[in-house]
Chain A
């Protein structure tokens, strides 16, 4: 990932910014500039809840070099309350295994540091529900 790519993806990665076509009521994440259904170019920026449930997962024992610092870890497919599906690492499991159907929410974490002197990439991962006592 280049710094330019990282910077362009910051809003979705940092705060789950999506876009919505108000003509077809369709939500896009990652965000789109043009609605592929109706061609609408005035999509509205919206933020999605970050809460959802785990659909499936797998354990990563031998990741790419830049992720070895957190290995082993789990990656899951999450279905958010808004119906969007996305993948992300699972954190704060304690010593438990993940379970299909478990409720999760976004956590803000490091993705990886680029070498010893490069930038550090940050973004969302998912953890068991912590924030939401009410609402």
Chain B
């Protein structure tokens, strides 16, 4: 029996700060920053939001869309690089909030920005192996950039959740393939508040090498060419990298443009490629084939091919469109942003 996605949900906090506002604080030109990054604004969590709350909200939407009984859920994985606790899983909070405890396996995953897709692969494996009926994989983050660092323009907050199983499928999994190496482009030591990165080293040997190789490896494995895909979503650390990757792969830009939620909510790290994928699912017609490629620093990419089913049109009515999350917003200035994100040290 075919495995695939039975429901999906996206959540983004409603605060936005514009790239222009951040640029003004550091004496940079906001218009050219926005144009270069292809990012206009980013989401900022309320002080009482974090990776756990975002994961719960996204998972509630995904569960509602799937119409699966909670007893069917046998696994909950939360992928993030901003788990609120170093020890005490985000996944148990999510499982309890969804009411799927105690007959469930749960774990937190970490692989920079691809921990969410790593969780999807794990659930697909458990479902395909008939170990569980269905499971939930989530990628969510509330990542931070050091004040003044280029990452500050793009580090957003949000996440996506997928209910994966064999019943009520909105998209069937055709196959998955990963490309992984040890590449030190971006890291954060235990206890450090902000990440460090290898600056220009993050492009060619890191993002592009892994994304391109994962996409090509998947197509080779499935006997497909880039022309077989109707839509795509790649990891989106900014709005420029995925377009460049599409160009290298020979994918027409209009097939990836719809995925670029990063332009409006910033880089949601573990959520980024899958929020874009969810937006493609919102817009796709039955029968369309979608390419999803994540990227996590360190480094690796997971590539997936999905075929959208006829059931998606009815299922969407039970979810919340990604655009609704993008369009509900409240603008904040840098001072409020600094307070919300704990950038003002009181002691």
Contact = CB atoms under 8 A, between A and B. Distances in A.
Q: Tell me whether A and B are bound partners.
A: yes
Interface of A: 10-11, 14-15, 17, 47, 69-70, 91-92, 94-95, 107-111, 119-120, 122, 125, 130-131, 133-135
Contacts of B328: 92, 94, 130
Interface of B: 14, 46-50, 52-53, 56-57, 60-61, 64, 84-85, 88, 93, 96-99, 317-318, 320, 324, 328-330
Nearest to B317: A134
A36 to B, nearest CB: 25
Given A15-B99, A131-B64, A122 B93 contact: yes
Contacts, number: 67
A95 B330 contact: yes
A15 B97 contact: yes
Contacts of B61: 131
A109 B53 contact: yes
Nearest to B56: A108
| Chain A interface, DSSP helix/strand/loop, else mixed | mixed
A122 B14 CA distance: 19
B64 A110 contact: no
B101 to A, nearest CB: 9
B312 to A, nearest CB: 15
Given A70-B48, A122-B52, A108 B97 contact: yes
B47 A69 contact: yes
Given A108-B53, A108-B57, A119-B88, A91 B97 contact: no
8 closest cross-chain pairs (CB), A and B:
A94-B330, A108-B56, A110-B48, A14-B97, A109-B48, A69-B47, A134-B317, A15-B99
A125 B48 contact: yes
A110 B49 contact: yes
A122 B53 contact: yes
Contact of B320 (A95, A120, A130): A130
Contact of A135 (B14, B56, B98, B318): B318
A122 B84 CA distance: 12
Contacts of B330: 94-95
Contacts of A125: 48
Nearest to A96: B330
A107 B57 contact: yes
B244 to A, nearest CB: 34
Nearest to B99: A15
A49 B84 CA distance: 28
Given A107-B57, A109-B48, 5 more contacts: A92-B14, A94-B330, A108-B57, A122-B93, A131-B60
* A69, A70, A120 pick with most chain B CB within 10 angstroms: A120
A75 to B, nearest CB: 13
Nearest to B49: A109
11 contacts: A11-B99, A70-B48, A92-B328, A110-B47, A110-B49, A120-B84, A120-B85, A122-B93, A130-B320, A131-B61, A131-B320
